């Protein structure tokens, strides 16, 4: 009776919603499902953050409409955190905006700067929202292949000149989801120079900057001199502080880019609940030792699961970043076929690489956001498949 709009018709089923559907189907059949599909931390939000959130709930000031762009106190906390963590100076009033989770900002950002027919340079494989946000804004996604032989970095020199002329935005995401590839300041320096030369906006998704298991801290693109001339960076409390359900993030960087995103948001939402922002302020002041405890957990899980998979004969892309493993499927399988076998025969939900784009074909992603004993159980189930 009712027909979806053309913009909805052109969208494939959202990857993680489809994974959840398959999971629920197996659970209904009584299968003991191990969900390694979605990057949703299993550990609870640290208690001091929760306690601050409880106190903030009782503050009557938080019971009214919040600021569209976020409390100044929250934006100051973000600016202070960027100064401590990256050595980056930000004006909290003009260069910081609060988001209802970074996904919201990533989706809405193209609406501020992309006209129908404009090109947006989108990495592949990648978080699907870069492409989806582009399509909703009427833009044309142009795929930048991320290949293992190139350390999963886009080849800027391979982009055709006629594409560059129509390009408005280039998306980058390091540490990378899904591949877990690391960032480098050298790449960011080249990217900033390239963007200035071609008048292209750089949109950096840095949600995993605090999830690393080695000694090398991931940088922010804003550390590059002159980056604020062309760049906006999206970040989130979701992964760093186990706050996925709280839905709180931010965007920082170029004043005009932040302002454009803010103008979209004033027309589509009324800002994030003040009590959640107060909890976020507490999170951003937490001692580094608290975050290090989380990193230690992921380091152990990554070590155990990598060794288990390699003993089975699977090839794991080794990285000290994110809480994902990017693994090659066995010979003779497509990504979807192998992941389908995992759920059907082993009760394990993983994400097919092809779900992140055509250049993810041949891989699957494992999320390490389940207890260690469940990871070991998953590895035994995979072993029993006799690949």
Clarify whether residues 139 and 218 are in a common domain: yes
**In terms of pLDDT, which residue wins out, 7 or 259?**
259
pLDDT, residue 17, reads: 73
pLDDT, residue 262, reads: 98
**In terms of pLDDT, which residue wins out, 176 or 10?**
176
Quote the radius of gyration of the chain (alpha carbons, Å). Answer: 21
Clarify whether residues 53 and 175 are in a common domain: yes
pLDDT at 110 over 70: yes
Place of tokens 């900002």: 105
CATH number of the domain bearing residue 212? 3.40.640.10
| Cα–Cα distance, 61 to 355 (Å, whole number) | 43
In a domain, 158, yes or no: yes
What share of the chain in percent tops pLDDT 70?
A: 99
pLDDT, residue 16, reads: 67
What share of the chain in percent tops pLDDT 90?
A: 87
> What's the structural domain count of the chain?
2
Q: Can you tell me the mean pLDDT for 117-141?
A: 96
Clarify whether residues 229 and 354 are in a common domain: no
Clarify whether residues 343 and 196 are in a common domain: no
pLDDT, residue 15, reads: 66
pLDDT at 281 over 90: yes
As a whole number, the mean pLDDT across the chain is 95
pLDDT, residue 237, reads: 97
Clarify whether residues 105 and 198 are in a common domain: yes
**C-alpha 286: how far from its chain's center?**
22
Clarify whether residues 73 and 93 are in a common domain: yes
Instruction: For 376-385, write each residue's pLDDT tens digit.
Output: 899 899 988 8
CATH number of the domain bearing residue 365? 3.90.1150.10
Clarify whether residues 275 and 380 are in a common domain: no
Of the residues 255, 284, 313, the one at which a domain ends? 284
In a domain, 1, yes or no: no
In a domain, 315, yes or no: yes
Instruction: For 320-351, write each residue's pLDDT tens digit.
Output: 999 999 999 999 999 989 998 999 899 999 99
Output phi, psi for 35, to 5 deg. -95, 105
Clarify whether residues 76 and 155 are in a common domain: yes
pLDDT, residue 185, reads: 95
pLDDT-derived band at 14, boundaries 50, 70, 90: low
Clarify whether residues 174 and 149 are in a common domain: yes
In a domain, 317, yes or no: yes
Of the residues 284, 301, 319, the one at which a domain ends? 284
pLDDT, residue 41, reads: 93
Q: Can you tell me the mean pLDDT for 50-64?
A: 97
Clarify whether residues 124 and 61 are in a common domain: yes
Q: Can you tell me the mean pLDDT for 273-289?
A: 97
pLDDT, residue 173, reads: 98
Clarify whether residues 60 and 36 are in a common domain: no
Of the residues 284, 306, 341, the one at which a domain ends? 284
User: Would you list the DSSP string of 191-216?
Assistant: HHHHHHHHT-EEEEE-TTTT-BSSS-
Clarify whether residues 305 and 344 are in a common domain: yes
Are the beta carbons of 356 and 15 closer than 8 angstroms?
Answer: yes
| Cα–Cα distance, 333 to 116 (Å, whole number) | 38
**Beta strands, E only, the chain:** 34-35, 96-99, 119-124, 140-145, 167-173, 201-205, 231-236, 249-253, 316-317, 324-328, 348-349, 351-352, 363-367
In a domain, 258, yes or no: yes
pLDDT, residue 256, reads: 98
Distant-in-sequence contacts of 60-66, Cβ < 8 A, 24+ apart: 61/274, 62/273, 62/274, 62/275, 62/278, 65/270, 65/271, 66/270, 66/271, 66/272, 66/273, 66/274, 66/277
Range of the domain at 227: 47-284
Instruction: For 239-252, write each residue's pLDDT tens digit.
Output: 999 999 999 999 99
């Amino acid at each position: 009776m009712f027909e979806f709009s053309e913009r909805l018709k052109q969208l494939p089923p959202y990857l993680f919603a489809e994974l959840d559907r398959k999971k629920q189907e197996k659970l209904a059949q009584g299968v003991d499902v191990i969900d390694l599909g979605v990057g949703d931390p299993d550990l609870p939000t640290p208690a001091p953050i929760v306690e601050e959130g409880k106190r903030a709930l009782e503050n009557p000031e938080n019971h009214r409409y919040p600021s569209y762009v976020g409390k100044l106190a929250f934006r100051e906390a973000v600016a202070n955190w960027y100064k401590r963590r990256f050595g980056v100076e930000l004006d909290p009033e003009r260069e910081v905006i609060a988001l209802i989770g970074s996904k919201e900002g990533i989706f809405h950002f193209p609406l501020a700067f992309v006209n129908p027919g404009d090109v947006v340079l989108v990495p592949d494989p990648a978080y699907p929202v870069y492409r989806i946000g582009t399509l909703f804004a009427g833009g044309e996604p142009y795929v930048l292949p991320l290949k293992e032989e190139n350390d999963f970095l886009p080849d800027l020199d391979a982009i055709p000149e006629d594409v560059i002329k129509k390009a408005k935005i280039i998306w980058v995401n390091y540490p990378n989801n899904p591949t877990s590839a690391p960032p480098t300041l050298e790449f960011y320096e080249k990217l900033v120079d390239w963007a200035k030369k071609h008048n292209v906006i750089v949109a950096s998704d840095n949600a995993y900057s605090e999830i690393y298991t080695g000694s090398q801290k991931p940088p922010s693109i804003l550390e590059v001199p002159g980056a604020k001339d062309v760049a906006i960076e999206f970040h989130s409390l979701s992964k760093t502080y186990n706050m996925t359900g709280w839905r709180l993030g931010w965007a920082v960087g170029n004043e005009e880019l932040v302002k454009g995103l803010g103008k979209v948001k004033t027309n589509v939402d009324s800002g994030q609940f003040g009590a959640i922002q107060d909890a976020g302020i507490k999170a951003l002041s937490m001692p580094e030792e608290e975050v290090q405890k989380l990193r230690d957990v992921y380091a152990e899980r990554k070590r155990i699961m990598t060794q288990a998979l390699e003993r089975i004969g699977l090839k794991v892309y080794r990285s000290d970043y994110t809480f994902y493993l990017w693994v090659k499927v066995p010979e003779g399988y497509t990504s979807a076929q192998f992941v389908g076998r995992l759920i059907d025969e082993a009760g394990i939900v993983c994400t097919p690489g092809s779900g992140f784009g055509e250049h993810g074909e041949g891989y699957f992603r494992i999320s390490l956001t389940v207890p260690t004993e469940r990871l070991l159980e998953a590895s035994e189930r995979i072993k029993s498949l006799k690949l």
